[in-house]
A = this chain, B = another copy of it.
Amino acid sequence: MSHTVKEIAVALGAEAFGATDILVTRAAEPAQAQADHLALATSPKYAESLPQGAARVAMLWEGADWQALGLEAAIIAPRPRFAMASLTRLLDAGQGYTDGIHPTAFVDPDAQLGEGVSVGPLAVISKGAIIGAGSVIGPQCFIGWHARLGEGAYLREAVSIGARVTIGARFIAQPGARIGGDGFSFVTPEPSSVESVRKTLGDQGETQAQDWARIHSLGAVTIGDDVEIGMGATIDCGTIRDTVIGDGTKLDNQVHMGHNVVIGRNCLICGQVGIAGSATIGDNVVLAGQCGVNDNIFVGDGVIAGGGTKLMSNVPAGRTMLGYPATQMDKQVEGYKALRRLPRLMRDVAELKRMVFKTTPDA
């Protein structure tokens, strides 16, 4: 799968210079680049290690002097970070999944597969499922009863999708993503200690230990277009209506979305984030790794939360948040600094007390 420098530049909407008919087999970091690789040296700092490799061609930053770097050809993209999207799509060698329906797959005769759908070895497609044209159902995937996938889905190995889940076009799921388990919803015959603690912020009251009765999930999951779900991520069904993920939203590995959660468009939800039941997340929200979102709260459009942030109450649109419990990022940073100065503050206060009250210091 070789490409000329010129072909690559065209695909990237970038400019090509020098010997643009050189064939490139793959991209590489500058130090590891061999003679038939495209070195990615998109800043002067990255370009420093070009001499350690054998690259003849590189992708460079705007204004770079490719000849001075000793290259035979170069691609210059105005925003190299964005050009990476087109470049990596062009050069992706894929997973080598084969076309057609593998003889070891089990496809229910009452499932509907669109044109050009491929189904990998030992995958299961259940009765009433509808798979959009051009979709790839990877090895050992499971598609449940009356689940629907739009056109151009790409499911890696061992993905499972439960009954009645509805998914839009161009869906991508990484290995072992799980959609459509039952929500975690249990109730006691009499009000429980948890209900008491929520009301009083700490007091369990006179509640007695009781058995938990299970609330089944009657809703499913509805997912928009252009959504991607990471490895081991888990999306619960809604209790009465569906749990919802909006168009263009991406979930990283091991993200957990509880029942009834509604998440908007174009959000980035990073690794190991947990969103508890019935939380509502707006559009263009970015939650960094290991964030948590409390149940039943809302997080407004455009909120950004740093790594490990626990959002415990509603967050207005546009806020940048950090910490546990979360506050606005600048306040949190101020708090960390103050905490670090606290031992000194204590010594100051002790000295003040000695001066003012004429006391002798404690042992």
Contact = CB atoms under 8 A, between A and B. Distances in A.
Interface of A: 26-29, 32, 40, 79, 81-82, 84-86, 88-89, 91-97, 102, 104, 106, 120-122, 124, 126-128, 139-140, 142, 144-146, 156-158, 160, 162-164, 172, 174-176, 178, 180-182, 184, 186-190, 193-194, 197, 201-204, 209-218, 226, 228, 230-232, 234, 236, 239-241, 248, 250, 252-254, 256, 258, 266, 268, 270-272, 274, 276, 283-284, 286, 288-290, 292, 294-295, 301-302, 304, 307-308, 310, 312, 318, 320, 323-325, 327-331, 333-336, 338-343, 345-346, 348-349, 352-353, 355-357
Contacts of A124: 120-122, 139-140, 157
A357 B266 CA distance: 55
Contacts of A253: 181, 184, 234, 236, 256, 258
A184 B91 CA distance: 17
Contacts of A215: 84-85, 88
A274 B290 CA distance: 7
18 contacts: A79-B189, A82-B213, A85-B187, A85-B214, A89-B216, A91-B218, A142-B175, A176-B176, A178-B231, A209-B302, A211-B248, A272-B292, A274-B290, A292-B307, A338-B342, A341-B346, A342-B342, A352-B352
A163 B266 contact: no
A158 B142 contact: yes
A216 to B, nearest CB: 4
Nearest to A265: B209
Given A290-B310, A339-B339, A353-B352, A160 B176 contact: yes
Contacts of A286: 193-194
Contacts of A91: 216, 218
Given A95-B162, A140-B142, A181-B230, 6 more contacts: A29-B240, A85-B213, A88-B239, A231-B234, A349-B352, A355-B357
A87 to B, nearest CB: 9
From A157, A193, A214, residue with most partner B Cβ within 10 Å = A157
A230 B184 contact: yes
A329 B27 CA distance: 42
Contacts of A338: 339, 342-343, 346
From A212, A217, A250, residue with most partner B Cβ within 10 Å = A212
A276 B252 CA distance: 11
A305 to B, nearest CB: 10
A6 to B, nearest CB: 20
Contact of A324 (B127, B318, B324, B348): B324
Nearest to A126: B96
Contacts of A84: 187, 215, 239
Given A128-B96, A353-B348, A187 B81 contact: yes
Contact of A290 (B214, B218, B292): B292
B157 A333 contact: no
From A127, A250, A325, residue with most partner B Cβ within 10 Å = A325
